[in-house]
Amino acid sequence: MSASTLELDVGLVLPQYGTDVATVRETVREAERLGYRSVWLEDHFQSWIGDQRRATHECWTTLSAVAETTDEIRLGTLVTCQSYRHPAVLAKMAATVDRISEGRLEVGLGAGWYADEYDRFGYEFREPPAERIHRLGETIEILQGLWTNDTYSHEGEYLDVDLEEAFCEPQPVQEPHPPIWIGGGGEDVTLPYAAELADGWNYGTLEPEGFEGKLEVLREHCASDERYDEIAKSAELFAFVGETTDEAEKKREQFRTEFLLDEPAEPREFFLAGYLETAPTGTPAAVRESLAAYADAGIEEVMLVVPDAADPKDDSLALLAAELGLG
């Protein structure tokens, strides 16, 4: 299969932990130069990988800097935690970034999972997960309402939020609004919301067969095949690339040794272990073959976490871009 026939958009999750903002800027400039479709930032106040006190750049303020740094590449959040911002404030923030970027914003949203972060920074971690997911759905309704109406009123059902003739001026550049992605794989609540409300869906830690199963459930929740086709389907994947298989495997094992010294003992470690187990690893051609399997499973875009991307001496991004025919 030639690079030109791989029907898969490729994005990059930016290195926002243990780096400085200059490194984030340099990485996004390189990603844009190489032809990656999109760049993404996670929404955390502390690192979920390794030492929690590693420098962690807040996603929305950093995204504003990224928007000013670039010209064409799409940019988004993977994913914004619903709990961390009042939905009307989030609507205003997103509209502003869409304006700064001249219509390049993708708004990824999730219900939140990092309980230690909630506790440390004073947010209520509601259980069971459905309590958080229902609030996610209502947040999306508020965002869409503020972005597409001159004024918008809302009486909170799950959220303690009542709006009376509220407005968002200026509204986003994109019409009817910036694409909204829902992150999460819960089949009883999250996927139904994605089927009803989302422009895109994202998940991680699965092999291609696992994504096939999730997509079957998503399709079942959609009102029609046409609605299913409207939803962009994506996977967040770690990737370790080397000119040889041994070089790539060595990168993965070095990362594992640094950040998973012991057996997983808490949710964030289980997540990371899952990402490492499913990470495409090898030469650019081998990684491309792995990504093709995700495309065959129904995935249309991958958001790659390339741990070496922040190293100016590493050429993983360029090797992948050349093999995948980006640019």
Q: Other CB atoms closer than 10 Å to residue 216's CB: what's the count?
A: 11
- Per-residue confidence in pLDDT tens, the chain, 327 aa: 344 458 899 999 999 999 999 999 999 999 999 999 999 999 999 999 999 999 999 999 999 999 999 999 999 999 999 999 999 999 999 999 999 999 999 999 999 999 999 999 999 999 999 999 999 999 999 999 999 999 999 999 999 999 999 999 999 999 999 999 999 999 999 999 999 999 999 999 999 999 999 999 999 999 999 999 999 999 999 999 999 999 999 999 999 999 987 778 789 999 999 999 999 999 999 999 999 999 999 999 999 999 999 998 999 999 999 999 997
Give the model's pLDDT for residue 205. Answer: 96
CATH of the domain at 305: 3.20.20.30
Distance CA 252, CA 259 (A): 11
Look at residue 1 and tell me if it is in a domain.
no
Q: Is 114 part of any domain?
A: yes
Q: Which domain holds residue 178?
A: 9-324
Q: How far apart are CA 202 and CA 78, in angstroms?
A: 8
Residues 6+ apart with CB under 8 A from 265: none
Is 4 within the bounds of a domain? Answer: no
| Structural domain contains residue 170 | yes
Task: Determine contact, residues 242/283, Cβ cutoff 8 Å.
Answer: yes
Residue 294 lies in a domain: yes
Residue 99 lies inside a defined structural domain of this protein:
yes
Instruction: Specify the number of domains making up the chain.
Output: 1
